[in-house]
A and B are shown apart, each in its own frame.
Chain A
Amino acid sequence: MSTNRGKLGTYIAVIILSIIFIYPLWILIIYAFQPAYLTFDKLYPSQIPLAFTLSILVQSFKKVDLIGPLTRSLEVAFMVGLIAIGLGIPAGYGLSKITSKLSNKLVVFLFVINMMPGLVVAIPISIYFLHANLDNTVFGVALAQELVVLPLSVFITLSAFRSLPRDLEHQARVDGASLSSTFFRILIPMIRVPIIVAFLLAWMTSWDEFTYAVIIAPIVPTDSTFPVTLYNYVSRNLPLESATFALVATIPVIILAAVLQKYLKGQYLSGGLVG
C-alpha cells in the first residue's frame, strides 16, 4: 500500500519536474517557428503551436548578423579548449610527480582563485589588454576566459596522470625511450579520454561565458561572441531575431553534450564540484 503510494508520488514529482525543465525550451521552439502574429503580437499567446513557419528564421538571418558572432564564439571556444589542454597537460603531469600534499594544495589554490568574481578580475584585465592591443580580439577574449576553465583542466589531467601505473614511465625510459617520446607516444595516448573531456568542458564553458566577453569585447557587434551579441539584441528589443539566434546557438552545445555524455561517468563532476 505505502509503496504504491510512494510510486505514485514519484511519478507525480517526475511529471511536474519534467514539465518545468522542458518548458522554456518548448517556448523557445514555438516562438522561433511560429509567425509573429501568434507570438510577439499576441496578448495571450497559445502554449501549443497553431502554425508553422520558417520565415522568422530566414528574416532574422537577413536582418542581423548571426553568423559573425557565432564564428567568433567558435574561434574563441576552440582557442580556450586548446590552451586549456596545452597548459593543463604539462601542469597535470608535473603535479602528479610531486608529493600529493603539495599538489592538492596547488589545485585547491587554483579553485579558490576561480571563486573571485569575474567582474573583479575582468575590468583590470581589459585595461591591460587595451595597452597590449588585445581588447576586442578573439585571442584576448580567449585568454581571459581561460581563467574560468584552467582549474578544472588541471584537475582532470592531474587525476588522469595519477591513475596511470607508476612503473610505466620508468619502464619506457629503461627501454631507451626519451622523455619527450615517452610523454607523447605512451603517456598522452593513454589519457586521451580525460584530455578530450577537458577540452570539451572548456569548449562548452567558453561557449556560455558572458562576463569576460562583455568586458573585453563589449557591445561592438562586429567584435563580440554570441552571448554578448544576444544580450545586445535582447536589449535592443529584437525578440524574434534573438529567438532565432538563441535556437541556432543552442544546437552545437546539445551535440557536444551528447558526445560528452558518452565519456562522462560522473568522476569528473567531483572535480567540477570543487570549483
Chain B
Amino acid sequence: MRKGAIKETEQNQEQFLARRNVFKKSMKKNLYYLLFALPVLIYVIGLAIIPAITVVYDSFIGRNGYTLANYMALPSYGLYGALINTMMVSVGALLIQLGIALAIAMVLIRPFKGKKAFSTLVIMPLGISTVVSAFVFSIIFQAVGGYANSALVSIGLRPIDWFNTNSSSLGVVMFSDFWKNTPLVALILYGGLSSLPPTLYEAASVDGAGAFNRFIHITLPNIAPIMSIALLVRGVSEFNIFALPLVIVGYHPLILNTLIFENYSSLQTRNISYAAATLLLAIIMIYSIIVVRLGGARDHVN
C-alpha cells in the first residue's frame, strides 16, 4: 500500500517534470516567436499607451503640483453642453444606424431583381472620405442655397434654418453620420443574418409563425451577438466622432472632441483639454465594458 503510494508520487513527480519541460519548451518557443511581434507591440506601447498615460497624468497637474483644478474648470469651457451633445449624437446616430442597417440587411438577404446594383450603391459611402461627406452635407443643409431647403420649397413646405438650433444642428450631424456609417453596420448584420440556417425559418413557418413573430423570436435573438459587436465598434467610434461635427457645425454646438481640439493648442488650456480627453477615455472604457458584458461580444472576438 505504502509502496504503491510512493510509486504513485514518483510517477506524479515524473509527470510533473515532463509537463514542466514541455511547458518550458513551449514558453521558449512562444518567446522566440513573440520577437516577431515585438516591433508592433513596441510601436503600440510607445505611440499609444504612453501618450494616453501622459494625458491622464497631466490632466491632474496644475501650476503647483497635483490638482483637480483642470476638471473643476471644465464646466466653464462648456463641458456639460458638450457631454450632453456627445451623448445625444452618439445614441441617436447609433439607433438610426442599427435600425436602417437591419432593414438593409433584411432586404439584402432576400432575392430580388437589381440586388447587385443595390448592394453596390449601399456600400458606396464607405469609400467616400469623412471630410468629403461632411462638406457635401454642409452644402445640402445650408440655410441659404441649400438643397434640402430647395427640396422642401419645391413640395410647398417652408425652408428651415438647419443650423439655427442645437438640436437641428446635431440632427444634421447625426444624419451625415448615419449616411457615412450605416453601410458598415449593414454589412456586419448581413454577415450575421446570412449565417443563420434557412431551416430555422422554415420550421417556424410550418409552426405558423407570422413574419413579425419570426423577426422577434428568431432573427433578433440569433443575431444579438453580432449586433453587440456592431454596437461596440460603432458606439466607440460614435463617441470619438470628430471630423464630421468639426466640418459641419464647427464649435457650436460643442461636442467632447471639438472641446478638446479647441483648447489643446495653447499652453494655458492644454491641461484643461487633457482633462476633457481623460473624461472621454473613461466614457469609452465604461461603454465598452458594458457592451461586452451585456452582449457576450467577447466570445465572438476570439
Contacts and interface: CB of A to CB of B under 8 A. Distances in A.
B99 interface: no
A231 B135 CA distance: 8
Interface string A109-138: 011110111111101110010000000000
A18 B104 CA distance: 10
Nearest to B298: A108
A24 B133 contact: yes
B83 interface: no
Dominant secondary structure at the B interface: helix
Contacts of A207: 129
A87 B43 contact: yes
Interface stretch (A60-68, A187-195, A266-274): A266-274
Which applies to chain A's interface (DSSP): helix, strand, loop or mixed? helix
B61 interface: no
Interface string B149-169: 111011000010000000000
A199 interface: no
Contacts of A81: none
Contacts of A110: 40, 44
Interface stretch (B3-11, B70-78, B87-95, B118-126): B118-126
B293 to A, nearest CB: 15
Given A44-B153, A210-B243, A21 B125 contact: yes
Contacts of B272: none
Nearest to B26: A99
B260 A119 contact: yes
Contacts of B121: 18, 21-22
A50 interface: no
Contacts, number: 250
Given A44-B153, A91-B40, A120-B277, A246 B147 contact: no
Interface in A125-167: 125, 128, 143-144, 146-147, 150, 154
A59 interface: no
Contacts of B41: 106
- Of residues A46, A117, A234, A250, which shows the largest number of chain B Cβ atoms within 10 Å of its Cβ? A117
Interface residues of B, number: 91
A17 B43 contact: no
B149 to A, nearest CB: 7
B112 to A, nearest CB: 6
Interface in B51-68: 51-52, 54-55
Contacts of A10: 107, 110, 112
B188 A269 contact: yes
Given A93-B33, A147-B47, 16 more contacts: A14-B114, A17-B122, A21-B122, A24-B125, A44-B159, A87-B43, A90-B39, A98-B30, A106-B37, A123-B270, A124-B55, A210-B243, A253-B129, A256-B127, A257-B126, A266-B191
Interface of A: 6-7, 10-11, 13-14, 17-18, 20-25, 27-28, 31, 39-47, 87-88, 90-91, 93-95, 97-99, 102, 104, 106, 108, 110-113, 115-121, 123-125, 128, 143-144, 146-147, 150, 154, 204, 207-208, 210-211, 214-215, 226-227, 230-231, 234-235, 239, 242-243, 246, 249-250, 253-254, 256-257, 266, 269-270, 272-275
